[in-house]
Amino acid sequence: MNSEPAPRSLVVSAPGKVILHGEHAVVHGDVVLVNTAFKSKNSLVAKCLNSALLASVADFDESKSPSAEQLDALREFAGIAAESSAPDSLATLAFLYMCLAISAKYGDVPSVDIIVWSELPTGAGLGSSAAYSVCVAAALLAACGAVACPWTEEELSLINSWAFQGERVIHGNPSGVDNAVGTWGRGPGDDVSLARRVPTLRILLTNTKVPRSTKVLVAGVKDKILKFPAIMNPVLDSINAISQECQSVLEAMPGNPSPEYYPVLEELFDINQHHLNVLGVGHPCLDRLCRVTASHGLHSKLTGAGGGGCGVTLLRPGGAEPPSAATYRDLCACGFECWETNIGAPGVSLHCPSALKAEVLRALGMS
């Protein structure tokens, strides 16, 4: 534990994520292939929060799930209805839990103001809640002196463990993939399989703007597996095999691959999308997304929990006009929101306020 005082202002960012393959299978013990798609500007500034609540709930431990009694006490304190699943309510609950838990274990977090700004859409399968939880965990741990900057691998593991607690508050039974990606920019350990030298791949992300609950979708898949184990378990096995095959292909590709390397990746996208529909996490808007991109010779699948949210489309390199231009126009005509990016981004990062862009400073009220 570091006893040096934390700086007066902390600006922390964490990335969102795109799951290439393995959605839902990872919750049931299989492999997931995941990559950071872009650097989120989900920033958190720690300055001043009334700490009068810190002694109201005890027995916090990052190795244990939040208890129903603890969460009920925090909901009552914050005036959050028991049935509320609104993103702002869950974010408040996760913050209060982490603040109290970290204070109970490492000493009082000094009075702070928390300002959050994100370019990640909520409820879209891009890891927005995990990016938020990672930022909150990193800032609170730094504010009370539990971690120092730059962060060591051990301190990153600590940040990740507390961010996972925030994800438990928000999602109930998360896989741990999103907060791991937000912390390291990759998935550590044996739970997540990630190519060590991932080639530069261009993707188109599409937000269908259809909200959905990860918790509800995960529970629905679990129910389907319990009801039809002989049918659903082979589907999960196949998704696991797709993740492994995709990893092998990515590891064999050069850093800047040419178009002939893409057919297998595209076929794996198509197969996995069909499997996800079998699991019951598809949606008509995602089917429409796949049809639109297919009409332009592109291949797409949902990313994240499904049921709406976002889809990812693999873009081949080359061509005078960006291959996403016509696709972008047609998807926007459906009412979707699209943006092109590359996979790969660093994990949780501490920023000097003077180095931030003007738009970020304005959003954080620091300009």
Q: Which residues are catalytic, by number?
A: 129, 178
Report helix, strand or coil for 138: helix
The residues with which 312 forms a beta bridge, in sequence order, are: 205, 301
Return all residues near 163 (Cβ < 8 A) that are at least 6 apart: 130, 133, 134, 136, 137, 138, 179, 182, 183
Measured CA angle at 44 (ends 38, 47), to 5 deg: 160
Return all residues near 128 (Cβ < 8 A) that are at least 6 apart: 16, 40, 42, 118, 120, 121, 122
183 near 159, Cβ under 8 Å?
yes
Query: 215-231 burial by CB neighbour count: b if 16+ within 10 A, else e?
Result: bebbebbeebbeeeeee
Amino acid in the structure at residue 21: H
